[in-house]
Structure 1
Amino acid sequence: MSSVNILRSLADVEGGRMATWRIGTTIRTVLEWDHWAGEADVDLRDTMQPLIDRGLVDFVATDHHVCDGVRLEAAPGHAPGQVAVAVESGTGSAVITGDLVQHPVRFIEPDVAGLAGTGTLVTGTHFPAPTAGLLRRGGDGAVRFVADGLR
């Protein structure tokens, strides 16, 4: 592994352990960093500053191309600049939602319901188990998160 994408920049999420990671570069969106660093979040700045000083943080746009088959997509939620991670390989695709969706019931919202029927594997970072599934539209038009048979 050569990089880690932080989907949400909060010291309570990172727990002050980021500076001890020795896995490569940390990717952050400029918009989110500017938002949280400007909020006088001393814990976050203290956590990240050693990595920034060592040149281990890449500040990127919300549409950043990480590598072949992996890209960031804007996913407004808790903060400006928050992203989801889109992964594509051959005919398969997946999206890691980050904080875009807190629970599968939220798939009724049009901005995420567009994935229904596409075969894209959806992985929710806040979902109760099982955390990965597909979005399917029922006969009533409602979008449902379906994880059956994916384990």
Structure 2
Amino acid sequence: MSLQFNSIALLLVVLILLGVLGNNSSITISAAILLLMQQTFLSKYIPFVERNGLNIGIIILTIGVLAPIVTGKVPLPNFSALLHWKMFLALAVGMLVAWFAGRGVNLMGTQPILLTGLMIGTVAGVAFLGGIPVGPLIAAGILSLVLGVK
């Protein structure tokens, strides 16, 4: 089996290298899986991943966030904690970020060409700034505000 090195395969190899250099296994594993899928019989499943990957990823991320509450490592706040200003600020920021992500999904659907820049920026932020790769949706939402796109 020989790799068909088109521009997409080359981009995935670059992402793998950036993931390794930036010590970010999420980028490395994601790009490696997509490269493997693209270059094998698994390519027929890429449209499924494209359609459902974001929702599946959000479900897995939500499970990961809720798991410490379920295990008891993070206790549920008592009533007085709910009235603290930090809790109100946390609620407001959570709502704002969710709103940004919603706008981001819309922007990615209407202007998919911008996804390349968002992904490169996210990978650079992960590789060089110690970030984590959950930013493309939020970045797209912020970009939609800047561009005036709903």
Q: TM-score interval w.r.t. the shorter chain?
A: under 0.3
* Structure having the larger proportion of residues in helix: 2
Q: Which has the higher contact order (CA 8 A, sep 6+)?
A: 2
TM-score, with length taken from structure 1: 0.23
**Greater radius of gyration (CA):** 2
